[in-house]
Structure 1
């Protein structure tokens, strides 16, 4: 049941007259492969409505998404459990997924349940409208419009959020429990409104009692924020190194590690400054990991 509990975030409950296979790809794929006869118009309308609900729920969780993000998340197979530690790789949409995403967004725009805006790179992003949020609230799903998220933001902020979203999308598909940047900003995550030791991540991943804290660093921090980061990492190291349950994460959780998606220069500087604070090289790479090859901060291509 854990797989279906996870998929409840984006889909209606399964109708009782049929049994859904455990390798369920999506409502569209299931109906298309379940029956040996063509779907009638009624079935098609039901599938369309369910796809619309899944899109609305995804937008509510992430704040805004692109067509390709929705296609990658909602129209391909999800793993029931992670097979390995997070690799932070972005999910790639399929051609059929892109078509389904485009059709669903077109219908939702016609119903005025989503808003769209042109991002700094020229791509189109979508968020919940007042009507879209209201339709979720009527189903008992707490939701708020994302109109304020579309009004204005810098290119740097857009790229930062795109990377955080791609990491979250790919991790959901791989079977991790994910707190998105939008959910974290609203206090809907493990650390609540106050954060963990006074800090909030860009994305949080959880599986088998382990917690991976994701930080996207595309530019150098100012001196005050950087000093705060160093002190926070000291606190995490002490907590992760102690015997017994974590004081910061609670008894049911333990640290995986802190994962930085960053430039090579940021990695070099952080390692050097942690060394000055008494960290050994072994301690640094036990508690922290760096990825500076998956995402190009200077020339990110969006579509």
Structure 2
């Protein structure tokens, strides 16, 4: 007599199930690293080779929301649409990261999506773009965890293969004189190869969207030129445009400026 075995439980260990679990953990880890992300940026980071990256990410994030491992909040001033929904790490997701991967994560329920969210979103997209090029990245959120209150930190760090770290500054609002002077000192230090928190820096990048009434490029060049640096140095400027509906950053032509102190 033939005996038919019930093999339904075998599906638990199928490659597709294991792959799905890995992607869930990767998504949880990304939210821990960045603080919050939209589905579009999660898609760029996890499904970069697919032309349906955002759709795949939305499906993945929906599953994690249903499991109560993450939650979402609308970005301030935007309708609760798929383009303006920030996903954050919940306590159950943080617990899962610790139990499965040994990552000491914690819930993001204390994070306030402030009025500076567009500034943060620009930094997220730049870092995601660089990561997909094979760069190592450190997010602003990760750096905040390592520094004391009031300490100047970049909006992110990135390391191209075989090169030193890049200091990233996103300029969207008009800084005061003292604030832009302080930023200029760190940009110059990065360009001149200073070490910061154990990171050997080698380049500085200023990324700036078009802002009515503010010329971020000229203001930063002016502040950099007033420094008493030991030698000339170069800073890279990236003009940006932001799509008004999808909030996707479009990158302009990079410009490397030599600063003569």
- TM-score of the pair, normalised by structure 2: 0.75
Shift of 1:141: 1.1
1:147 aligns to what SS in structure 2?
Answer: coil
Aligned residue runs from structure 1 range 126-141, under 5 A? 126-139=87-100, 140-141=102-103
Match of 2:70 in 1: 114
Match of 2:124 in 1: 165
Shift of 1:148: 1.8
Shift of 1:279: 7.1
1:252 and 1:260 map into 2 onto residues whose CA distance is: 18
Considering only aligned residues, what root-mean-square deviation do their CA atoms show, in Å?
A: 2.9
1:236 and 1:47 map into 2 onto residues whose CA distance is: 39
Match of 2:253 in 1: none
1:200 lines up with 2:153 in the alignment: yes
1:250 and 1:161 map into 2 onto residues whose CA distance is: 21
2:105 aligns to what SS in structure 1?
Answer: coil
Q: Choose between structure 1 and 2 for higher RCO, CA contacts under 8 A separated by at least 6 residues.
A: 1
Match of 2:247 in 1: 302
1:47 and 1:146 map into 2 onto residues whose CA distance is: 25
Is residue 209–residue 254 contact of structure 1 (8 Å, CA) maintained in 2? no
Aligned residue runs from structure 1 range 141-156, under 5 A? 141-149=103-111, 151-154=112-115
2:137 and 2:36 map into 1 onto residues whose CA distance is: 16
2:148 and 2:208 map into 1 onto residues whose CA distance is: 25
Shift of 1:218: 0.3
1:103 and 1:178 map into 2 onto residues whose CA distance is: 26
Match of 2:218 in 1: 268
Match of 1:214 in 2: 168
Is residue 45–residue 128 contact of structure 2 (8 Å, CA) maintained in 1? yes
User: Comparing both structures, which one devotes a greater share of its residues to helix?
Assistant: 1
User: Comparing both structures, which one devotes a greater share of its residues to strand?
Assistant: 2
1:125 lines up with 2:103 in the alignment: no
Deviations 1:6-49 (A, max 9, x none): xxxxxxxxxxxxxxxxxxxxxxxxxxxxxxxxxx9442332322
Shift of 1:301: 3.7
Match of 2:20 in 1: 48
Shift of 1:235: 4.5
2:99 and 2:197 map into 1 onto residues whose CA distance is: 34
2:67 and 2:238 map into 1 onto residues whose CA distance is: 41
Deviations 1:126-161 (A, max 9, x none): 111011111111121111111122x4411xx11011
1:248 lines up with 2:222 in the alignment: no
1:295 and 1:216 map into 2 onto residues whose CA distance is: 13
2:241 aligns to what SS in structure 1?
Answer: coil
Specify whether residues 47 and 260 from structure 1 end up closer, same or farther in structure 2 by C-alpha distance, changes over 3 A only: same
Equivalent residue pairs, number: 225
Match of 1:100 in 2: 56
1:184 and 1:250 map into 2 onto residues whose CA distance is: 9
Shift of 1:223: 2.5
